[in-house]
Amino acid sequence: MSAAVLALVLALATLTAHTGINAGRWLRRPAGGPVEVTEPVAVLLPLRDEAARLTPCLRSLLAQQGVPRLRIVVLDDGSTDETADVVRDVAGDDPRVTLLTGVTPPPGWLGKPHACHQLAGRADPAATALVFVDADVVLTPYAVAAAVTELRAAGATLLSPYPRIVVRTAADRLVQPLLQWLWLTFLPLRAMERSPRPSLAAAGGQFLVVDRAGYDRAGGHAAVADKVLEDIELARAVKRSGGRIALADGSRLAACRMYEDWPQLRDGYTKSLWASFGHPAAAAVVVALLLLLYTAPPLVAVAALVAGAPVVAALATAGYLLGVAGRVLSARATGGRAWPDALAHPVSVVVLGWLTLRSYHLRKRRRLSWRGRPVS
């Protein structure tokens, strides 16, 4: 028993050390201060029923500095609320803003990829960089200029500067930090940038910057027309076309409040987790390993104390604390909240496992949807 727990602790120590290396050495950090780009840039904003939360995002886009040749293209993707009216009210007669009315996705297309495809097709032909932004993202004044500057500095075709995730509810605090923690812990960032393997890719669609020529070479969003995780699949398409991708800490550039309540968060993860893992057997293996590594140690520690095995209890407690340390490293590297949230990391992993199971269950029954549209 002691040997098995020791092996578990050594595995956790290795993973936590990898989190620290990624966060401290390999995670790109765009400058948050004044910077200017001279190339023409198109910001592309897809919207569907976003009237209630659109205003802060659009105002932050209109307030961008350091991008004198900025154009903003907004697509109202079949909204049933006052989304288009909010755009007109906030943008006024600003000549930089173009509002489009989207068309229904044709067979074989999901809503988000089709909206982004329409936006890219109507962007200023002179724009050499495209910046995709979601309506729940609020940018700092130099965010676009800094992101484009980092894209060029990295020599990348696609850059994903991950926003700071705003958490307010208990559900937020349990689940949302896992996004950054997962790729900081398990993804070798420097190898991802250097490797041409499409399988070694990550990206977040909330704030995504791409070189226009490389985007077209990869096939744009037409290459990911039927993909639920269109952001990651676009990164893979870029790699397949010979381009490079990079991740960055965008916490100084943007903040994102992804979901307003637990039902939204639950359904948002449910619609896409099956696509993250692929085959159900692969998902089962991954979830089982996560539970073994991060949820088992505190349970073993308690059981060992009750059974009068202090050595095993001490080792298991060390494993639990190593998992907590990984969450703290991830939070501090990405502008997240570390304490006391990291102490509940085992519970977070259990919730992730349940959401994954729910995702496969509903997909099997063809009951997955988002914003009123089926996604599988």
Instruction: Write out pLDDT tens, residues 31-54.
Output: 878 899 999 999 999 999 999 999
Residue-level pLDDT at 100:
96
The CATH fold assigned to 28-260 is Spore Coat Polysaccharide Biosynthesis Protein SpsA; Chain A (3.90.550)
* Arithmetic mean of pLDDT, 212-238: 96
Q: Is 166 exposed, middle or buried (0-12, 13-18, 19+ CB in 10 A)?
A: middle
Q: What are phi and psi of 203, to 5 degrees?
A: -170, 155
Residue-level pLDDT at 376:
61
pLDDT digits (tens, 9 = 90+) for 192-214: 999 999 989 999 989 999 999 99
Question: Tell me, what DSSP letter sits at residue 39?
Answer: S
210, two tokens:
């791409």
pLDDT at 370 over 90: no
pLDDT at 106 over 80: yes
- pLDDT band for position 289 (50/70/90)? very high
- CA separation (Å) from 201 to 180, 206, 269, 301, 361? 14, 16, 19, 36, 26
- pLDDT band for position 145 (50/70/90)? very high
Beta strands in the chain, from DSSP E residues, in sequence order: 41-47, 70-76, 97-101, 129-133, 137-139, 158-165, 207-211, 245-256, 369-370, 373-374
Q: Distance (Å, rounded) from C-alpha 61 to C-alpha 55? A: 10
Residue-level pLDDT at 260:
87
Q: What are phi and psi of 69, to 5 degrees?
A: -110, 50
Give 202's contacts (C-beta < 8 A, 6+ positions apart). 160, 183, 187, 192, 232, 235, 247
Give 308's contacts (C-beta < 8 A, 6+ positions apart). none
Return residue ranges of the chain for CATH 3.90.550.10: 28-260
Dihedral (CA of 370, 373, 375, 376) sign: positive
Residue-level pLDDT at 358:
94
Q: What are phi and psi of 53, to 5 degrees?
A: -130, 10
- The percentage of the chain sitting over the pLDDT mark of 70, rounded to a whole number, equals 98
Q: What are phi and psi of 161, to 5 degrees?
A: -85, 100
Tell me which of 204 and 61 has the higher pLDDT. 61
Q: Find residue 165's DSSP bridge partners.
A: 256
- pLDDT band for position 1 (50/70/90)? low
* Arithmetic mean of pLDDT, 80-98: 95
Q: Distance (Å, rounded) from C-alpha 231 to C-alpha 162? A: 12
Q: State the chain's mean pLDDT as an integer.
A: 93
72, two tokens:
């903003």
Range in 110-119, 231-240, 262-271 the model is least confident about: 262-271
Residue-level pLDDT at 12:
96
Q: Which residue has the tokens 């996705």?
A: 105
Cis preceding-peptide flag for 340 (omega within 30 of 0): yes
Based on C-alpha coordinates, what's the Rg of the chain?
Answer: 21
Residue-level pLDDT at 369:
77
